[in-house]
Structure 1
């Protein structure tokens, strides 16, 4: 991804932490996906012509990602018509207004987790509404993804492999038998840090865990969070 040119221009450079920020960022991308695909044309480089030291770039006519997709001919007639109806039903001005409002909501999530500012009261989640930017009723996508939606999949994966992490066969898992407990802690409090969980495990089993093993716990928690998201 072009991190500076695309992502950072939309969400800024602040750190986003917690489930509230994750859900708010999801809502922003729901709106941004429609705005970019339907109303943001771009030019693609076709050729370069050299004349001595000068280089002349030749681009194709500007098209939106949706227009490029429709021109490929890979879609069925039904899907082609559905996408056209979505594009024609959207109002770009009202859609862009929602993008701006959702950006401000994401920025508030970033400010709320800043250590240099006093804690702000939690604000309700601002949800993207297709109906507010459409001239007629359309169906674009389903509901907001639930962070715990992959929980059953994770349990099945644990049963299949008998462990969450893909340890080498020659490496003994120092947290064997504790991953289900760690998982339950993360489901109850997704923002809980690895240091807090490691100290809790040390209190539960004195002398079992060495300080350097926190790195192993951090890698495991990253994989668990990836399953939950």
Structure 2
């Protein structure tokens, strides 16, 4: 018994052979390390077959008639529908028969092509899977216990450097900070702390300006 090919293969075969141009290598020459390649003009497999001298005229007429009966937009829409069916089957294990596309479905699909580039790849099989959020920390915060003291130093001396803070920690708790291996982490924390303080100052000034009544 002859098995019918899946719809995605039937549609993609016609689309590629009749509407998908490609380049074929004509010649290749080497000049030292440089390779110069020359290609034939881009053409579809159907165009190459029709242009070949060894193909019989009856076959060429049949191919031309088949080409005239095809709609590339409808073929592309059928491919996307078949991909959607495969995607749903892979995700949920449910195989749904794809309904034949009507004129309204093709029109909607054609209209969506003008903005499809904004969302990137439109094929259902290329949908990105949502990433699982990590609720755990991969590293222990090296300044979890010392941060209240560090923040107090920063408030008292806003211009103090992270290097100076690291020296103070090494003197205060040599067992934990004598090697100063956490200096880079401390620099990032201090930078983030100062950025947050600046943000609070700017927003505070804006709130005060908005609350101050304007005298007319």
Q: Same fold (TM over 0.5)?
A: no
So what's the TM-score if we normalise by structure 1?
0.39
Q: Which has the higher contact order (CA 8 A, sep 6+)?
A: 1
So what's the TM-score if we normalise by structure 2?
0.41
